[in-house]
A and B are shown apart, each in its own frame.
Chain A
Amino acid sequence: MTILVLAEHQDTQLDDATAKAISAAGRIGGEVHVLVAGSGCQAAAEAAAGLAGVARVLLADGPSLSNRLAEPVAALIVSLAGGYDAVLAPSTTSGRNILPRVAALLDVMQISDVVAIDGPDLFQRPIYAGNVIQTVRSTDAKKVLSVRASSFPAASVAAAAVPVEAVAIPENPGRSSFVRSELSRSERPELAGARIVVSGGRALSSAENFETVLAPLADTLGAAIGASRAAVDAGYVSNDLQVGQTGKIIAPDLYIACGISGAIQHLAGMKDSRVIVAINKDPDAPIFQVADYGLVADLFEAVPEFHAAVAEGAKA
């Protein structure tokens, strides 16, 4: 069995999701190769080469792969797929964009968002916003899998790095072009990998309140900020902070939900957190059904008080 893992990276840096996908691939069993596709992405390839469990790193470095548009990256993976029994990617937005294209071109039924691997062809995946887990066996000769990064530990750093080998890049299908990107810049930790997440809902009622009420607590805790769909839809924070079925799915050590009701779709994104705190003024809010610690309070009083208490502790 040989498995190709599509790396998630930012050219100069490898994302944690890649290390997690590599450990997921290891559970299938067999040799794990990592494909780093991009433009000016040697550094990311070298980082992948230093991870435990990686046998080879393939580097596809060229202008057609900058911004990792689905059409050229899928064509690249298909050109390499003949040598592999399985192709795997983390189910980031990039993996979700590219991988089904690969699966269709290989005539394989993809298995999306795998959360557990029970054998070389036996996989668990959530359906209905994670209310139900389905175990499926694939009858396709080749497997195409996206894996939920938060369900797997990150591969550790290896004692010695494997070499990085360049691979040929097929012609760009030319059905798409990059126009622009507006990436959110933040000094805060990345939502996907943060140890603590302070999340706000509709109750925050403005972008300003996210900054003045939630941000001080988040920054004192060294936490990432998250949000419900309602808060994102209302424009209080940017789309990349949405937690949930259709946003990011995370499992931090501590998730603090402030003014979030706890809709099924929101719970789908955070219910695997180790400790959940809910601050909500409605004692019957569904979020309390999953919270380890619930505080029935007005968040505009409780959150500043919480901030003051941890800021005090940080000084002491």
Chain B
Amino acid sequence: MKILVAVKRVADPNVKVRALADGSGVDLANIKMTMNPFDEIAVEEAVRLKEVGRANEIVVVSIGPEKSAETLRTALAMGADRGLLVRTDAVVEPLAVAKILKAVAEAERPDIIITGKQAIDDDANQTGQMLSALLGWGQGTFASKLVVGDKAIEVTREVDGGLQTVGLPLPALVTADLRLNEPRYASLPNIMKAKKKPIDERTPADYGVAVEPRLTVVRVHEPATRKAGIKVGSVGELVERLRMEAGVLR
């Protein structure tokens, strides 16, 4: 069984990203970049499936600038077998990403594609669903559990009311949620080994996909920040203020 995992290079989740003063975009200069946390979970799930003998090959793909090769290296160090960088300096919207991934999937013919449920930069939460639609596959989004059989998978999904489990015939697409697994740190020997694993390079044009954005960013700004209020001295004062001042308690 072959698994394709899509990974994105994003700003580190612990960094507070700011808008540029002229409102044209966000300031990513000198900001630490890392693999999108949900994609790490996606890679980890694929590696575990390989470790238990369910999968025999893991291909990781990233669409982005040259530096995205570093993100692919991280995935290779975690246990993926080979990488594919679809190189572009353009901002690629989820719809175009899904189109490129569709072309990659048609060439690679994976049984399962795993993506993160959302990228923590644009927070769009679209790529997996769009890719699944374009391929005509079933989708198991926001997965917290994945059970892989020979011809089908069962995906337990985190939904607003609790959990929902769906069955999908293979090939199928899964998007990883936080509780699917806890990703490993790559060991030093594996990081060394990953340096020898192959990373192929292509461009969106090689797949005949136009990456021109459909959305024009008119302005980027920071929302009004909340001001810190006051520290109260006791529970009694807190309750009093919530009743009399804020009017939120009876």
The proximity string for B residues 215-234 relative to A, scoring 1 for CB distances below 8 Å and 0 otherwise, is 11111111100101111101
Select which of B14, B164, B213, B248 is within 8 A of A253 by beta carbon.
Answer: B248
* A109-B95 contact in complex given A94-B159, A131-B18, A246-B117, C-beta closer than 8 Å: yes
CB B155 to nearest CB in A, in angstroms, measures 9
The segment out of A22-30, A36-44, A203-211, A289-297 that lies at the interface is: A289-297
- Bound CA–CA A238/B164 (angstroms): 13
B157: A residues at CB distance < 8 A:
93, 97
* Contacting pair A233 B229 (CB below 8 A): no
Interface residues of B in 1-59 (CB under 8 A from A): 11, 13-14, 16-19, 26
- Please tell me if the beta carbons of B235 and A100 are within 8 angstroms of each other in the complex: no
Q: Which of B19, B118, B177, B235 has the most CB of A within 10 A?
A: B235
B: number of interface residues (CB 8 Å): 84
Who on chain B is nearest to A67 by CB?
B164
Per the bound structure, the CA–CA distance linking A247 and B45 in Å amounts to 21
Evaluate contact between B134 and A132: CB separation under 8 angstroms. Answer: no
Chain A: interface secondary structure?
mixed
Q: Are B129 and A70 in contact (CB under 8 A)?
A: yes
Q: Tell me the smallest distance from the CB of B240 to a CB of chain A, in Å.
A: 9
**Interface-facing stretch out of B60-68, B70-78, B137-145, B191-199:** B137-145
Whether a CB of chain B sits under 8 angstroms from the CB of A310 is yes
**CB atoms of B94 and A96 under 8 A apart:** no
Band of interface residues on A:
35 or more
A277 at the interface (CB under 8 A from B): yes
Given A132-B19, A179-B165, A309-B236: A110 touches B217 (CB 8 Å cut-off): no
Name the contact of B167 in the complex, choosing from A173, A177, A184 (C-beta under 8 A).
A177
Contact of B220 among A70, A133, A137, A296 (CB under 8 A): A133
Question: A93-B142, A133-B221, A254-B249 in contact; A310/B13 too (CB < 8 A)?
Answer: no
In the complex, the answer to whether A313 meets B239 with C-beta atoms within 8 Å is yes
The proximity string for A residues 76-116 relative to B, scoring 1 for CB distances below 8 Å and 0 otherwise, is 00000000000000001110111111111101111111000
Q: Name which residue of chain A comes closest to B154, CB basis.
A: A179
B209 at the interface (CB under 8 A from A): no
Q: Mark B199-221, 1 if CB is under 8 A from A, else 0.
A: 00000000000000111111111
Contact A240 B162 (CB under 8 A): yes
**CB of A306 closer than 8 Å to a CB of B:** yes
Q: Which of A97, A99, A254 has the most CB of B within 10 A?
A: A97
Partner of B118, one of A105, A126, A246: A246
Q: Nearest chain-A residue to B228 (Cβ)? A: A289
Taking a contact as CB atoms under 8 Å apart, the answer to whether B228 and A136 are in contact is: no
Instruction: Knowing A103-B126, A131-B222 are in contact, say whether A176-B139 is a contact too (CB < 8 A).
Output: yes
Q: A221–B118 Cα gap in the complex (Å)?
A: 35
A-B contacts, 21 listed (Cβ < 8 Å): A93-B160, A97-B141, A103-B130, A105-B133, A112-B126, A128-B11, A132-B19, A132-B221, A132-B223, A133-B223, A136-B216, A137-B215, A173-B136, A175-B136, A181-B159, A239-B162, A240-B161, A292-B246, A294-B231, A295-B232, A306-B235
Query: Could you list 15 further interchain pairs (A-B, Cβ under 8 angstroms) beyond the known A112-B124, A295-B238?
Result: A67-B164, A100-B128, A129-B13, A130-B223, A132-B19, A132-B222, A134-B217, A135-B218, A136-B216, A176-B140, A176-B166, A246-B118, A254-B249, A271-B226, A293-B231
